[in-house]
Chains A and B, each alone.
Chain A
Amino acid sequence: MRDALAALPIAPRLLGATLFVLAALMAPHAANLHPAILGFFYLAVGWRVLALRHPRWLPGRWLLLALMAAAIALVIMSTGLYDGRLAGTALLVVMLGLKLLELRARRDIHVTVFLGYFVVLTQFLYSQSLGLAVYLFAGTLVLTAVQVGLNRVHAQPRQVLRHAVGLFVAALPLALVVFMLFPRLHSPLWGIKTQRAFTGISGEMTLGSLGELSRSTATAFRVQFDGMPPPPEQRYWRGPVLWHTDGRRWSADRASARALDTVGRDPLALGYEITLEPTGEYWLFGLDVVTVKPPGTHLNSSYTLVSEQRVNQRLTFRAASDPGFHMLALSERERALGLQLPDRVAPRVAGLVAQWQASTDPAQPLQMVARALDFFRNEPFVYTLTPGTLQGDPVEQFLFETRRGFCEHYAGSFALLMRVAGIPARVVIGYQGGERNPHADHWVVRQSDAHAWTEVWIPGLGWWRVDPTAAVAPDRIEQPIDTAASQAGDRVMFGDGDPGALLALWQNAVWLADAVDLGWHRWVVGFSAERQTSLLQWLGLGRPHGFGLAIALLIGGALAVAVVYLSARLPRPRSGDPLPMLWRRFTDKLRRAGVDVVASQGPDTLCATAMRMFPQSADQLSAIRRIYVQLRYGRQSDQEMVRALSRRIRRLSLRPAQVDKG
């Protein structure tokens, strides 16, 4: 079977477009790949571009082989082959570069276009942000246009691009149906190793660590509540619980990470859905206290929600919490841990506690809590992001000298004071607060909402949340920190001011982008097996598995295809003759200017009327009339003239005659 197309020479423009779109699609890999790999690729592109003018500069077979060996060595050296994804991507990139250097026949461009599609996929393995996705899908569209151009004798860019858009639109319904119904796995087919640095709460707390984090306005997670959102004072997002302390540093208890399986369905619980930004850690955040856990997670004995896998990608999960839930249990081990003290407790600290103990009832530990909170409230403590460094015994120095601190200072020293007083206490880190997106029904919790608070164990009440920061800075609980204002100043500022109009506009745009981004994540990136199941249930398909899913896929696919082809058969307005449309535009303009347009009037009468009313525009009007009559009644229709008419109608300005007041 002979193919005439294969023998046809390739238009240089098509070749240039191929190189351009591949270079553009590769660019985001700058964030992922070793510069040498990307450099190799772009050198190959540059070489090929030069060869568009000087075809003899293309490398011969031996040089290509040598380049291939060099490329493979480059891949091995730069990736070390540790990470299959990284090595695979690098190999694909250098091979595509080499393929460009032997781009001669139409077949070669076909192959590079296919490799280009694969490059888009590798981009998604590294980032799935909405902006990148829009960029990449646009690139894919151009790539398809190149492919369409390859299959024509004459390929005009606009024509080919328009056709590619049509093909995309027709392919979209089927793609979406398959996307929704294609079975999703709970876990990867084989292991994936990634190591990446994430911003967010770490598993321990050193004085100053959360304050550092609070300077970041990056999103920590987004929440969508099923019902009414909880009031601000209940918006504590529980993360790791810290037991061990040496006075300066607090850390989690590895041994106590025993799964708690007593919690089940809770009718009182408030349901919500969280979309968590990648943390690289195992724990998740939930509203204090989570009582209904999502699948694939467990609650440890400290009521921290723990995932079975590290959160290396954005994760959407559903949970439910009961803010009034009491954590009553206290094992002996927990009591010991909750009373653990650093090797040395400063005498001044011990003296302070002893002084309080003298004036309170030991059977009423809440009295002691109140005394400590009064201390923070009444002494001149300052809530600040820049507390300065603490030397010697940090707690002693903070409580008696500097008295400047962020939430970790207050939580850490309060827990220590309680332990000295014999009350089991622990530090909880997580987030506090959240801000509602006005354009969507979700809340955003930022890194600047990172918070540390304490829990003390009161007999009969169980673990009782005490937030000493609230005693010092009650606003902290009600309002988010204004990060920009706080960085310049000393005291932490809260964002309750009235922003200027321009700033409000900007904030509005930011919120809108946030809403779109969450939509992209919820419906595309985070479309999990659970979400798929709930969607299918919503559609009334129950919980299909295997065969049922295949049937649904078949029916849905057939429907999607039918929709496309039926809509393609609908009669479309003929785009053949632009003249009536232009004339209508012209008469509309005249009518707006006050000319009495009668449908039966011919162009001559109409223009004469208009020229009498607008003598200033007589030249323009007569030119329009002349061109229209030529086009309408003349023998040939000329694209150039149609454009000229369109331009003149657009530029026509009708100024009323100036009344001479002389």
Chain B
Amino acid sequence: MAFADWARVEQVSAAGQAEIGARRIYILPTRYGLMFGVLLFLMLLGAVNYVNNPGHLLTFLLAGLAANAIYQTWRNLRGLRLVCHGGPPVFSGDPVPFVVELDGAARARPAIQLMFDDSAPALVDIDDGNRPQRVQLQLHGIPRGLHQPGRLVISTCYPMGLLRAWCYVACDRPLLVYPKPGARWTPRGAAGDGGNDAEWGGGSDDFAGLRGYRPGDLPSQIDWKSYARERGLNTRVFSGQAATPLWLDWVDAPGNDVELRVSALTRAVLDAESAGRHYGLKTPGSTIAPGLGPAHRHQCLRHLALYGTSDA
């Protein structure tokens, strides 16, 4: 869209907030508006030809409605406040959620449509209550990496549907998209003492002790007995995991192209995390020290997501 390149764009503040300014709003007739124009012309022709004054009045009344609709439609957007919240990281292939909070600024604003270039449109009636309304947009078809969601188009055709007012908002809230997990594979050193390939970190490891629960620990590894004795939530740690970290190495990953390896390593990170094993990540040029838990998982997945991209 060439127009959008030089169009005025509302910028969000550092906190992701923006208020739609009067001079950032564009407005054009919809196809219903064009149809309505033709209708008015025909009605005027009929009224003039039959020298019919009530017909004139009706036609001018409808024309007045259409003229007023220009203002009403514009006003439906002007002063609308929004906060771009962005969304949590997701895996490539899944829809990417993007949350926008809308505040009508004490005015009811029906039929506000939000849309990114890559998203399905979301439609919402904002009532005149003072509670902000959260709208979740779903972006589709986004590859791994760090992405700006693009220009948010906020538009409305209310009240008559004859005109569409819209404005562009640059939502500066990057979205992180993890690589799509590949097929399950067994990294070197992942198998137990032998035979039990499928079982990550094998159940036969020695019990090493308990540590405090950290979010992300698997329910199966929580020591429910101690919880029942009211000693709080604890996670069982096994000696094998603690002692020998699992190295997820770029060179071990199956596949002969970058994307396949990135996908395979992503799968391995997820598997290691769910198995509760300490793992480290080696990619050409960088190494992430072994660790476990959501923060570590995020660090690894982010590294994989950005691998080979300009944001890396």
Binding site for B on A (CB under 8 A): 1-5, 8, 85, 110-111, 114, 117-118, 120-122, 124-125, 128, 133, 136-137, 140, 144, 147-148, 150-154, 163, 167-168, 170-176, 178-179, 182, 184-185, 187-190, 192, 313, 524-527, 561, 564-565
Contact = CB atoms under 8 A, between A and B. Distances in A.
B137 to A, nearest CB: 11
Contacts of A110: 32, 35, 161
Chain A interface mostly: helix
Contacts of B168: none
B123 A128 contact: no
Contacts of B32: 110, 114
B159 A167 contact: yes
24 contacts: A1-B164, A4-B120, A4-B123, A114-B35, A117-B58, A117-B62, A120-B58, A124-B47, A125-B52, A148-B158, A148-B160, A151-B157, A151-B160, A152-B111, A163-B159, A172-B61, A174-B68, A175-B57, A175-B61, A175-B63, A179-B53, A188-B50, A525-B54, A526-B53
Contact of A128 (B52, B62, B69): B52
A451 B196 CA distance: 120
B55 interface: yes
B266 interface: no
Greatest chain A CB density within 10 A among B43, B47, B54 is at B54
Contacts of A176: 60
B50 A133 contact: no
Contact of A148 (B43, B45, B159): B159
A182 B60 contact: yes
A303 B76 CA distance: 64
B204 interface: no
Contacts of A179: 53, 56-57, 60
Given A118-B42, A151-B158, A153-B111, A188 B49 contact: yes
Given A2-B115, A152-B158, A190-B49, A128 B65 contact: no
Chain B interface mostly: helix
Greatest chain A CB density within 10 A among B67, B72, B115 is at B67
A133 B54 contact: yes
B242 interface: no
Contact of A525 (B39, B53, B64, B159): B53
Given A3-B121, A4-B122, A152-B158, A168 B65 contact: yes
B17 interface: no
Given A118-B42, A151-B110, A151-B157, A174 B52 contact: no
Contacts of A118: 39, 42-43
A313 B55 CA distance: 14
Contact of B121 (A2, A120, A313): A2
Given A152-B158, A179-B60, 8 more contacts: A1-B164, A117-B39, A117-B62, A148-B160, A170-B68, A171-B61, A174-B63, A561-B67
A5 B158 CA distance: 11
B290 to A, nearest CB: 47
Greatest chain B CB density within 10 A among A85, A178, A561 is at A178
B123 A182 contact: no
A5 to B, nearest CB: 6
Contact of A565 (B71, B113, B120, B160): B71
A183 to B, nearest CB: 9
Contacts of B161: 110, 147, 150-151
A5 B56 contact: no
Contacts of B58: 117, 120-121, 124, 136-137, 140
A188 B51 contact: yes
Contacts of A137: 58, 61
B113 A124 contact: no
B210 interface: no
Contact of B125 (A153, A168, A172): A153
Contacts of B288: none
B53 A174 contact: no
Contacts of B36: 114
Nearest to A184: B51
A257 B39 CA distance: 44
A124 B52 contact: yes
Contact of B53 (A4, A178, A524): A524
A168 B46 contact: no
A93 B67 CA distance: 28
